Amino acid sequence: MGAASGASKSTNGLRLLLADDDPTIRKSFARVLKGTCELQLAAGCRDALEAIEDDHLIGLVVDLVLPDGNGFEIIEHARKRYPGVPALLITGYLDAEVAARAFATGVTYLPKPLSTQSLLAFARKCLTYPRSALAQVEVLANEWEARYHLTATERAVLVATARGMSREELLASRGIAETTLKRHVTNLLLKTDETLLDRAALRFLREVLNRLD
C-alpha cells in the first residue's frame, strides 16, 4: 500500500484516514492531528479503500478530487463498514451540487485551506464516534469536575467542545453572551493548566480513549 501511518498506544488503534494526493497537505494534517489518534495517510482512492478494510476507523478527511477517483467513493465505501462514521470532504473550490450532496449524506464540506480549529473540531467529533467512548465521556467529565473544581458551565463547555461543538454552537446551546463564554473558558483553562480550549478537549478525550478496552 502507498499509504503511511503513525500509531500511538494511548489511542487503542483508533484510526483517522486522511486521503489527499498533495503530500504537503497530508504532512500538514498529520502535524496538526498528531497525538489525537492513529493517522492513516493515503494518496488516492485505492490506498484509502484498502485502509478502510482495517479495523477501528473513527473518521475520514478526504479530498473531493483524487487522481484515481473522488472523495465520495471513499466515504460511501467506509460507511458500508462503519455506518455513520464522521466524514470531512475538502476541496480547492466550492460547488453547489457537491455541497448539496454532502449535506444530504451528513458529510462536512469545507474549502481548502482548512483552519487548524476546523480540523481539531472534526478530530474531536471522530474521537467520540465509538459507542464506548460516548459512555466514558460523561464518567470522565464527572471526574474532571471534581479534580479541577469545575463549575457546571465549565464542565458543559469542556464536554461540548470534546464532542466537536463549535464556539457558535456553544453560544447558541448555552444561551450566553460571547464575553460570558470567554470568562468560562478562561477559568477552565486556568484550572486545567491549558492554554487553548481545543487542547484541553483533546487531553480530555485522550483520557477517555485510554480507558477503552
112 and 45 share a domain? yes
110 and 164 share a domain? no
pTM > 0.85? no
Domain with residue 173: its CATH number is 1.10.10
91 and 176 share a domain? no
Domain extent for 178: 131-210
SS (H, E, C) the chain: CCCEEECCHHHCCCEEEEECCCHHHHHHHHHHHCCCCEEEEECCHHHHHHHHCCCCEEEEEEECEECCEEHHHHHHHHHHHCCCCCEEEEECCCCHHHHHHHHHCCCEEEECCCCHHHHHHHHHHHHCCCHHHHHHHHHHHHHHHHHCCCCHHHHHHHHHHHCCCCHHHHHHHHCCCHHHHHHHHHHHHHHHCCCCHHHHHHHHHHHHHHCCC
Q: Going by C-beta distance under 8 Å and a sequence separation of 6 or more, which residues neighbour residue 79?
A: 85, 87
Domain with residue 77: its CATH number is 3.40.50.2300
Of the three residues 71, 98, 127, the one that is the final residue of a domain is 127
Ordered per-residue pLDDT tens for the chain, 213 residues: 444 443 333 445 678 999 999 888 888 888 888 777 788 899 999 999 998 987 788 899 999 999 999 999 999 999 888 888 999 999 988 888 888 888 888 899 998 888 888 888 888 888 877 766 767 888 899 999 999 999 999 999 998 888 888 888 888 877 888 999 999 999 999 999 999 998 899 899 888 877 765
pLDDT at 7: 36
Of the three residues 127, 147, 180, the one that is the final residue of a domain is 127
137 and 166 share a domain? yes
